[in-house]
Amino acid sequence: MGVLKEFRDFAVKGNVIDLAVGVIIGGAFGKIVDSLVNDIVMPVISTLLGGHIDFTNLFIVLGRIPEGVPRTFDALKKAGVPIFAYGNFITISINFIILAFVIFQMIKIVNKIRIIDAPPAPPTPEDIVLLREIRDSLKK
């Protein structure tokens, strides 16, 4: 019974709830970034590279292709053919870089807001000011 109570106390702490909300929002944000990469960024990059290159279809076949299976990424994966899918890795890497950059920018904005919203420092007590003046005059 003690373990269950300890787990319940742990699970309802504010930090765990905040973490759960962050994970849920992060998952949704990840889908937005996936769409940004796959639907906006990758088509522009493939056009700039001289054609409509679909990075997910860049792969090297490592095994024998069964007869009748088309040489496309999806068909080969379904057929169980081992594939070195470097194009998919490129897409996921670009996805990560964009996600990391967006999070970096969000943290910069939040830090600026925290500085702006920070309460002003309390005024220095008069006795401390007098002690500093005495210290400075003794140094002279």
pLDDT for the residue 52: 67
Is 26 domain-assigned?
no
What mean pLDDT value characterizes the chain?
83
Query: Does the structure show a pLDDT above 80 at 1?
Result: no
51 or 108: which leads in pLDDT:
108
59 or 34: which leads in pLDDT:
59
pLDDT for the residue 134: 93
Q: What is the CATH number of the domain that holds 44?
A: 1.10.1200
Query: If pLDDT is split at 50, 70 and 90, which confidence band does 14 have?
Result: low
70 or 11: which leads in pLDDT:
70
Is 48 domain-assigned?
yes
Is 3 domain-assigned?
no
Paired strand residues for 83: 61
Chain centroid to CA 126: 48
3-state SS assignment for residue 83: strand
Between CA 69 and CA 34, with CA 60 as vertex, the angle to 5 degrees is 90
Overall domain count for the chain: 1
* Contact by Cβ (8 Å): 105, 97: no
Is 11 domain-assigned?
no
pLDDT for the residue 139: 92
Name the residue range of residue 41's domain.
35-139
pLDDT for the residue 4: 85
Paired strand residues for 34: none
Is 16 domain-assigned?
no
Is 61 domain-assigned?
yes
Region 2-24: mean pLDDT is 79
**pTM given for the model:** 0.55
3-state secondary structure 9-68: HHHCCHHHHHHHHHHHHHHHHHHHHHHHHHHHHHHHHHHHCCCCCCHHHCCEECCCCCCC
Q: Enumerate helices (H) and strands (E) in the chain, giving the number of each.
A: 6, 2
- Over residues 88-139, the pLDDT tens digits come to 888 788 878 887 887 888 888 888 887 777 777 888 889 998 999 999 999 9
Spell out the residues 6+ positions from residue 42 whose beta carbon is closer than 8 angstroms to its own: 55, 91, 94
Is 66 domain-assigned?
yes
Give φ, ψ of 118 to 5 degrees: -65, 140
Is 98 domain-assigned?
yes
